[in-house]
Chain A
Amino acid sequence: QVQLQESGPGLVKPSQTLSLTCTVSGGSISSGGYYWSWIRQHPGKGLEWIGYIYNSGSTYYNPSLKSRVTISLDTSKNQFSLKLTSVTAADTAVYYCAREEMRMVRGATAFDIWGQGTMVTVSS
């Protein structure tokens, strides 16, 4: 059974870089058929998709965050990572990593497995 676990600092200073890692267990991150995504949720608010990476290394980011986001893959460690630069208080949120599975139904995908989430606070 595939599980995802986020890790990283819970407190980041303004203007610095937020770095999080998602460790995948129970399955290989190199397997085809999945996008590996980051999603965040501001306190008391809805969900915001940040971006994804495919096993080929190809990425796609939310246009609203694109200039500050990098998602990378480490297949040797079965991990993928998020870097968000120049953070402000507006980046305070719970950050989730999630697996997006390509379904057999034509073109369908869905976030079927999620990490538990990690709270990141941006504050001096």
Chain B
Amino acid sequence: DIQMTQSPSSLSASVGDRVTITCQASQDISNYLNWYQQKPGKAPKLLIYDASNLETGVPSRFSGSGSGTDFSFTISSLQPEDIATYYCQQYDNLPPERGFGPGTKVDIK
């Protein structure tokens, strides 16, 4: 099965900072990667699908890039409401497995 790693596991940044999280897959997953935001006590929310496509209604300060095994997620200007844990998620079709990265907790400095 495909293993996902994320780094860093946590970070602290100032409002307005550019924040980047990386996600690495143990094997080539093409663009089959999504990013989610989870706030405490809430269900995850889809932000980016297929590595770089912004979900409808999600602010444009969020972006994703990458393909193959290496991916990144960026918040161009961190806002107070962005405090959350961010997860990458891979999916495959043969076999049709899904898996999540361990998460990156983002705090305000």
Binding site for B on A (CB under 8 A): 37, 46-49, 52, 60, 62-63, 96, 98, 100, 103, 105, 107-112, 114-117
Contacts and interface: CB of A to CB of B under 8 A. Distances in A.
Contact of B53 (A46, A96, A105): A105
28 contacts: A46-B100, A47-B87, A47-B100, A47-B103, A48-B100, A49-B97, A49-B99, A49-B100, A52-B96, A52-B98, A60-B96, A60-B97, A63-B1, A63-B97, A96-B43, A98-B43, A103-B49, A105-B50, A107-B30, A107-B32, A107-B93, A108-B31, A108-B32, A108-B49, A110-B46, A111-B36, A115-B43, A116-B42
Interface of B: 1, 30-32, 34, 36, 38, 42-46, 49-50, 53, 55, 87, 89, 91, 93, 95-103
A100 B36 CA distance: 13
The 5 closest A-B pairs by CB, nearest first: A114-B43, A110-B49, A108-B50, A47-B100, A49-B98
Given A47-B89, A108-B49, A114-B43, 9 more contacts: A46-B101, A47-B103, A60-B96, A105-B50, A110-B49, A110-B55, A111-B36, A114-B44, A117-B43
Nearest to A54: B96
A100 B93 CA distance: 13
A76 B67 CA distance: 41
A111 B34 contact: yes
B43 A46 contact: no
Nearest to A51: B98
